[in-house]
Chains A and B, each alone.
Chain A
């Protein structure tokens, strides 16, 4: 994957939100560092999984990439263009090449627009096809996501959750984007429907060479689809590497805890008692702990962890993790060597 040229490159990207108080005279009382120094390269055609607990900044990062949230620091380069420097007109043109699919298809579709209208709108706005061909394009799109064209005149409420998510995916694909960011696309769906949508997404990526950033809190979903997984904690990437290895041989203590916490559908499976059960919740991004943000919950934390924020370091081929005690952790020798 890395051999291909990157379609998206993030260099030390940060998104901070000021917290203000006061009715008449507003003053800033704090700063939420939702994303704080993320560097990442996504290759064309790659499926990158982004995981982490709620509040870790994964959705904000997605929004920052699309410039739906401000870029406080760093650069987002998409197909050679620095998105931070674009004028509104240029940004609008760039956004046709990147699209987003949201978690809740009930909320992301306009209830008063038929499927046809919802799918035709982007085509008309961006003048993708001549007016006469819009109808054909819409039926082609519906077919591609597995919806019969005869449903075109129906409204979102007439569809089930899974079908609505198909509509949302069709709309994201309408402009033939290079990059799609899917934010928890299956978490609102039942297991059997989830399987259908995951198969659909996998097929689309395979057939069209789409680049996908898949955000999910469900590691088994991400592991199934993604080539690489990035694990976020409190606005930073703590581990990044090939999906298979991150999932089966996690290096960073946080990734280990996260994977250990997944309930397995096998009653014989026994957890490693020492590693699981992270105490408490993730700390507030407004007031992150000193040093490694994970140290208050980390079973392996020592004095060094409180000193400085760890940088991503190479673990093995193509994988990095941000932990200073990596080589002291149990099982480190078992991690695949370079």
Chain B
């Protein structure tokens, strides 16, 4: 049974400029212990999807228009606030891109780390402190008892991200949502943090949703990948299958625009045009106007994610019918 099953999720923002369809019919599931990557460019809806699950979308202007998100049988989108609170920070935790803004600058990190314990597990202050020390040690922070008394600004960027991870994992959640956890970090520190997430995951057996724009990070840590474009999932596959042969022209274009994909000095592939305006209704495939292999029916046909080979789903109708090489 999947740990999390999201069905037909739609999160719209009602603004003066119109209704922005930030997430428009997204369905996926997360199995216990697996790492699911969500990749896409800014505005593709990857963050809003996860913020919706965590109940962190400001409403208004945001509104969940449809969908269900079953986590262990509880629908996260329809449960009471008390039920949500019992899950959030306890069984599902989230870490964010910028640890400086996600940590409270006025609070010693020790107090921030034990906060979820005091709220969710009602354990004593002494026990909480011991667990905080252990949590900091797990994430590789030396001299933990003393560092608990430090403030966030006394840590470097990579160390702050470790503190965030310690805080997210202290209640031993079943699902960790990591939204661009390494984007603000140097590559060397990024490698450490990714390694850390992998290691803790295998020890605790938790599932991870990793949101990133970096295909390299996906290849490194994820079991399965969702590719998002214009608020929809356009491709879903195991990591190996996706990189062996991407099943959507958008994914292919994305991979071709990486500097590593070309010989040195050769012009990089660039996707023509711009992502669609999400306030306007989209007919057919959202990528069709920028797609090099689009045919007229791409703009009119009904688009849905379908399995076109084992363990590999695509929303491209030409791919589904085997028309693309």
Inside 8 A of B41's CB, which chain A residues have their CB? 190-192
| Residue B149 interfacial (CB < 8 Å) | no
Inside 8 A of B215's CB, which chain A residues have their CB? 191, 265
For the complex, what is the distance from the CA of A265 to the CA of B258, rounded to whole Å? Answer: 9
Instruction: Name B's interface SS.
Output: helix
| Residue B192 interfacial (CB < 8 Å) | yes
* Chain A interface, number of residues (Cβ within 8 angstroms): 39
Assuming the contacts A202-B267, A224-B259, asked whether A266 and B195 have C-beta atoms less than 8 A apart, the reply is no
Mask: chain B, 252-271; 1 = CB below 8 Å from A; 0 = not: 01110111111011011111
Q: Evaluate contact between A266 and B268: CB separation under 8 angstroms.
A: no
Q: Evaluate contact between A202 and B265: CB separation under 8 angstroms.
A: yes
Instruction: Say which residue of A191, A277, A278 sits within 8 Å of B257 (CB atoms).
Output: A191
Instruction: Say which residue of B157, B269, B274 sits within 8 Å of A160 (CB atoms).
Output: B274
Within B21-65, which residues are at the interface with A (CB < 8 Å)? 41-42
Q: Evaluate contact between A264 and B216: CB separation under 8 angstroms.
A: yes
Instruction: Say which residue of A195, A263, A267, A278 sits within 8 Å of B214 (CB atoms).
Output: A263
Instruction: Say which residue of B195, B219, B269 sits within 8 Å of A264 (CB atoms).
Output: B219
| Residue B121 interfacial (CB < 8 Å) | no
For the complex, what is the distance from the CA of A277 to the CA of B280, rounded to whole Å? Answer: 46
Inside 8 A of A317's CB, which chain B residues have their CB? none
Inside 8 A of B218's CB, which chain A residues have their CB? 265
* Chain B interface, number of residues (Cβ within 8 angstroms): 43
Inside 8 A of A265's CB, which chain B residues have their CB? 215-216, 218-219, 243, 255, 258, 260-261
Q: Evaluate contact between B268 and A198: CB separation under 8 angstroms.
A: yes
Q: Evaluate contact between B186 and A53: CB separation under 8 angstroms.
A: yes
Assuming the contacts A191-B254, A199-B268, A243-B264, asked whether A258 and B219 have C-beta atoms less than 8 A apart, the reply is no
| Residue A223 interfacial (CB < 8 Å) | yes
| Residue A89 interfacial (CB < 8 Å) | no
Within A257-298, which residues are at the interface with B (CB < 8 Å)? 257-258, 260-267, 269, 276-279, 281
| Residue B297 interfacial (CB < 8 Å) | no
| Residue B158 interfacial (CB < 8 Å) | yes
Within B203-244, which residues are at the interface with A (CB < 8 Å)? 213-220, 239-240, 243
Inside 8 A of A260's CB, which chain B residues have their CB? 191
Mask: chain A, 107-134; 1 = CB below 8 Å from B; 0 = not: 0000000000000000000000000000
Mask: chain A, 247-265; 1 = CB below 8 Å from B; 0 = not: 0000000000110111111
Residues of A within 8 A of B (CB): 53-54, 160, 190-196, 198-199, 202, 217-221, 223-225, 243-244, 257-258, 260-267, 269, 276-279, 281
User: Which 8 residue pairs of A and B lie closest in terms of their CB atoms, listed nearest first?
Assistant: A263-B216, A195-B257, A224-B259, A195-B268, A261-B191, A190-B41, A53-B186, A195-B270
Q: What would 11 more interface pairs be, CB under 8 Å, given A190-B42, A195-B270, A276-B191?
A: A160-B274, A196-B270, A224-B264, A243-B264, A261-B190, A262-B187, A262-B216, A264-B219, A267-B239, A277-B191, A278-B191
